[in-house]
Amino acid sequence: METQNQIWTEEIKSKNSLFSVNIKEVWGHRDLMFMLVKKDFITFYKQTILGPIWFFIQPIMTIAMYIIVFGNIAKLSTDGLPQIAFYLAGTVIWNYFSESLNKTATVFKDNAAVFGKVYFPRLIMPISIVVSGLMKFAIQFSLFLIAVLYFTFIEGTVHPNIWILATPLLIVLMASLALGLGMIFSSLTTKYKDLVFLLSFGIQLAMYATPVIYPLSTIPEKYKWIVELNPLTGIFECFRYGYLGSGSFEASTLAISSGLIAIIFIIGVLIFNKVEKSFMDSV
Amino acid sequence: MTNLAIKAENISKQYRLGEVGTGTLSHDLNRLWHKIRGKQDPYLRVGESNDRTKKSTTDYVWSLRDLNFEIEQGDAVGIIGRNGAGKSTLLKLLSKVTKPTTGNFKINGRIASLLEVGTGFNPEMTGRENVYMNGAMLGMRRDEIKRKFDEIVDFSGVEKYIDTPVKRYSSGMYVRLAFAVAAHLESEILIVDEVLAVGDAEFQKKCLGKMGSVSEGEGRTVLFVSHNMSAITALCNKGLYLNKGEIASKGIIGDVLKDYHNSINENDVISYYNVGDLAVGGFKFTNLSNLGFSVIQTGDLLSLKFKIKNNYSKKCNIEFNIEFFDSSEIDIFCVGNEFNNKVLEIEPSSETEIRIQFKINLIPDKYYMKVWINNFTTFETNYTDLFFGFEVEYGDIFGTGKQPKKENSHGFVIPEYEVNYLSM
């Protein structure tokens, strides 16, 4: 019955191939991504009295606690760096990573109302979460920069070097890892809801498996490879090495991290893409 | 032959009933095991059609089953059917909110779907910001919204409040703004679920007008789900009638509505109720004023047919009365043979069919009935339990689009009246 000139611009199929990620469609919805980021920005300002000041209070309180517990009670090494600068470096980037992961991991559940009523490439949602996280990160990062400037020019205890230029790459890597893991978890939690519990304490535990509050150099040589398998290790070591000028950083560690993150990210996108088409039935 | 906009091939959608999450892992593993051995998914075979009146014996249910249809470009298709017939599921599949279990759709053109008005509206953001947000969610580009912004605001009629957070809006303003965005979508295919049920009558008319111009003027294809039959007749030229997840009828809207109407009557034949030695049943309501409509509207001339069976060994002389109650079980009126002295005689073990025609302008509600029978032969009076009779929708008897409502204390019936200003 079909005429010769019948054209179809789109097909909705019951079975999709695993690799049918429509990047063009995601790009076509970039305006929506910016709107979502803007929404986060606006709602954050309007709902709190102190607004962005909270972004300062949180890391300051956290590092104060770290200095007392890890620095003075447990007496963990900081590679000879000032404790404030050392802990601030770890906290600022860890906060960004953990919050991005936490939010992307529940993206289906949190947005079920919207996802159930309108279609747009679901990838937009986790991407916008990771991008909005940058806003808070930028504020906390400026606090860290102030500390770096103080310790460089007044105290002279830290020595920033050329690896500072790697910062954008490190942010992209962290965002990709949070996004990749977040998408894997969010896809699985639509069906297996118990994983939410695993994730919430998993992130807490992961902080101790990552050189956030201790330098990689304190790990015995025998076990170093285990910590280096953690894709975050390279990022944290590179970040501290670049800004504070000490630590056991090697470019190869960062290369391994990048490779692992790329794999996790691709797996995340594929699983997410697979689940997004039918998750509404099980959420 | 005109070009097609949508072609559905063997579309089915299966849902899992009950608690989703328990036992999913075991089902998934079982599925995987079948897949490895190259066998069919074991859960696709089970499941039954979506008849909500029966208790299901399996955990899976087919919300849609093997739909095949074609929609031509420029058609306005009204999708009708009772609640749970799969109308909204069909729209969800076409909107890509969820995917079909089997089958596929072929689509020619960009689809804009409106399953809800104001998706993504954030109360903290201003009207202006929400227009951009909602527009972006519905698939509009930023410059597209910018270009149409004035038109959208104009259509909504809330320009005064456009820079106020929408949490300060009345619900009417909220809906107006949200619909205005959706009405300005540029797409070849527009999908609309029962969203017009909200908003005031005047605005509803405006929206219907906009949608009408959309389907006729711009050659757009429209799919429209509604229980408002007058809106469907006004707007659509084609119809698709779904019953329990399957297509019961499709084609020209008038024919489809007729099929829908007829089948409703068939479905409504209820079993018999025993009233002493007699039994009443087979109630059938027909709307005489407007044969195309399945729903009873205010101002319709109604015909009620039913049967009385005599299970007694002798001839019975009876008097009957049918009492009608509204949804709060207040009795509103009754019809019967008591007041006109027409006593009914029924021979032993036979039945009589009775038809009552009456007209009453009821306020929209659900109406229930109870049948009383006085048997002069056995000197017994018996009555049935309360059972569902019919539902009344508002038929615009004043022609103004404004509607009296029970919840606004407008009473139980709507008299036909005139108001005259004598001194003017």
AA letter at A200:
S
Q: Do B107 and A9 touch (CB under 8 A)?
A: yes
How confident is the model over A65-110, as pLDDT tens digits? 988 888 888 888 887 788 888 888 889 999 999 999 999 988 888 8
For residue A2, what pLDDT band results from cuts at 50, 70 and 90? very low
Nearest CA in chain B to A39: B125
Same domain? For B96 and B172 the reply is yes
Same domain? For B191 and B280 the reply is no
Same domain? For B359 and B244 the reply is no
What is the token pair recorded at B110? 């960009």
Determine the average pLDDT of the residues in B117-138. 86
Domain limit, last residue, from B212, B230, B256: B256
Question: Given this model, what pLDDT does residue B267 score?
Answer: 45
Q: Do A32 and B1 touch (CB under 8 A)?
A: no
Domain limits for position B277: 268-408
Residue B146 lies in a domain: yes
Percent of chain A whose pLDDT exceeds 90: 23
Of A16, A43, A277, the CB nearest to B122: A43
Same domain? For B288 and B341 the reply is yes
Domain limit, last residue, from B256, B290, B317: B256
Helix (H, G, I), strand (E, B) or coil at A251: helix
| Contacting residues of A for B70, CB less than 8 Å apart | 1
Same domain? For B123 and B240 the reply is yes
How confident is the model over A216-264, as pLDDT tens digits? 888 888 888 888 788 898 898 899 888 988 777 788 888 888 999 999 9
Q: Is A18 on the interface with B (CB under 8 A)?
A: no
Same domain? For B157 and B273 the reply is no
The CATH code of the domain that includes B306 is: 2.70.50.60
Determine the average pLDDT of the residues in B191-218. 67
Q: Nearest C-alpha of chain A: how many angstroms from B181?
A: 14
Same domain? For B279 and B400 the reply is yes
Residue B347 lies in a domain: yes
What is the token pair recorded at B95? 């909107």
Question: Given this model, what pLDDT does residue B27 score?
Answer: 73
Q: ∠ CA(B270), CA(B273), CA(B276), 5° rounding?
A: 165
Helix (H, G, I), strand (E, B) or coil at B306: strand
Question: Given this model, what pLDDT does residue A33 score?
Answer: 92
Q: H helices within chain A, ranges in order? A: 23-28, 30-47, 53-66, 83-105, 107-110, 112-115, 124-149, 167-189, 195-208, 224-229, 231-244, 251-276
Of A9, A13, A42, the CB nearest to B104: A13
AA letter at A108:
F
Domain tally, chain B: 2
B59 CB burial (10 A radius; 0-12, 13-18, 19+): middle
**Cα B300 to Cα B148: distance, rounded to the nearest angstrom:** 43
Determine the average pLDDT of the residues in A2-22. 71
Kindly report the number of other CB atoms within 10 A of residue B329's CB atom. Answer: 9
Structure-model confidence comparison of residues B418 and A54, the more confident one: B418
Contact B64, B86 (CB under 8 A): yes
How confident is the model over B47-101, as pLDDT tens digits? 545 554 444 456 678 889 899 999 988 888 999 887 678 888 899 899 888 888 8
- Name the β-bridge partners of B224: B78, B192
Same domain? For B241 and B327 the reply is no
Residue B397 lies in a domain: yes
Q: Is A277 on the interface with B (CB under 8 A)?
A: yes
pLDDT value at A128 more than 90? yes
Residues 6+ apart with CB under 8 A from A38: B129
Burial state string for B11-36 with b = 16 or more CB within 10 A and e = fewer than 16: bbbbbbeeebeeeeeebeeeeeeeee
Residue B101 lies in a domain: yes
Question: Given this model, what pLDDT does residue B326 score?
Answer: 83
Residues 6+ apart with CB under 8 A from B11: B64, B66, B67, B68, B90, B93, B100, B102, B103, B104, B105
Q: Hey, of A3, A12, A191, which one would you mutate to test binding to chain B, going by the most B CBs within 10 A of its CB?
A: A12
Question: Given this model, what pLDDT does residue B269 score?
Answer: 47
B385 CB burial (10 A radius; 0-12, 13-18, 19+): exposed
pLDDT value at A175 more than 80? yes
Same domain? For B346 and B290 the reply is yes
| Contacting residues of B for A8, CB less than 8 Å apart | 7, 106-108
How confident is the model over A152-167, as pLDDT tens digits? 888 888 888 888 888 9
Residue B40 lies in a domain: no
Sheet containing B278-287: give its strands across: B273-275, B278-287, B301-310, B351-359
A28: phi then psi, degrees, rounded to nearest 5: -65, -20
Q: Please say whether the dihedral angle defined by the alpha carbons of residues B124, B127, B128 and B132, taken in this order, is positive or negative.
A: positive
Instruction: Count Cα neighbours of B184 within 13 Å in the Cβ-side half-sphere.
Output: 25
Rounded (10°) angle between helices A124-149 and A53-66: 60
Domain limit, last residue, from B236, B256, B276: B256
Helix (H, G, I), strand (E, B) or coil at B379: coil
| Contacting residues of A for B139, CB less than 8 Å apart | 29, 120
Q: Which of A166-180, A241-255, B102-116 has the highest mean pLDDT?
A: A166-180
Sheet containing B48-49: give its strands across: A10-13, B102-107, B4-16, B60-72, B48-49
Beta strand pairing status for B238-243 and B76-80?
A: parallel
pLDDT value at A3 more than 60? no
Residue B107 lies in a domain: yes
To the nearest whole number, what is the mean pLDDT of chain A?
85
Residue B424 lies in a domain: no
| Contacting residues of A for B92, CB less than 8 Å apart | 280
C-alpha dist (Å) from residue B355 to B275, B304, B310: 19, 6, 17
Q: Nearest C-alpha of chain A: how many angstroms from B235?
A: 23
AA letter at B193:
D
What is the token pair recorded at A15? 């079975």
Question: Given this model, what pLDDT does residue B239 score?
Answer: 92
Contact B187, B111 (CB under 8 A): yes
Q: Do B139 and A280 touch (CB under 8 A)?
A: no
The CATH code of the domain that includes B250 is: 3.40.50.300
Same domain? For B161 and B187 the reply is yes
Contact B250, B241 (CB under 8 A): yes
The CA R_g of chain B, rounded to the nearest whole Å, is 26
Same domain? For B251 and B274 the reply is no
Same domain? For B283 and B250 the reply is no
What is the token pair recorded at A251? 């470019």
**Cα A19 to Cα B74: distance, rounded to the nearest angstrom:** 34
C-alpha closest to that of B220 among B188, B193, B184? B188
To the nearest whole number, what is the mean pLDDT of chain B?
80
Residue B83 lies in a domain: yes
Q: Is A12 on the interface with B (CB under 8 A)?
A: yes
Q: Do B107 and A42 touch (CB under 8 A)?
A: no
DSSP state of B362: B
**Cα A137 to Cα A93: distance, rounded to the nearest angstrom:** 7
pLDDT value at B334 more than 80? yes
How confident is the model over B222-279, as pLDDT tens digits? 888 876 666 787 778 899 999 888 998 999 988 888 887 676 555 444 567 777 788 8
Of A12, A114, A191, the CB nearest to B107: A12
Q: Hey, of A125, A274, A281, A282, which one would you mutate to test binding to chain B, going by the most B CBs within 10 A of its CB?
A: A281
| Contacting residues of A for B136, CB less than 8 Å apart | 29, 31-32, 35
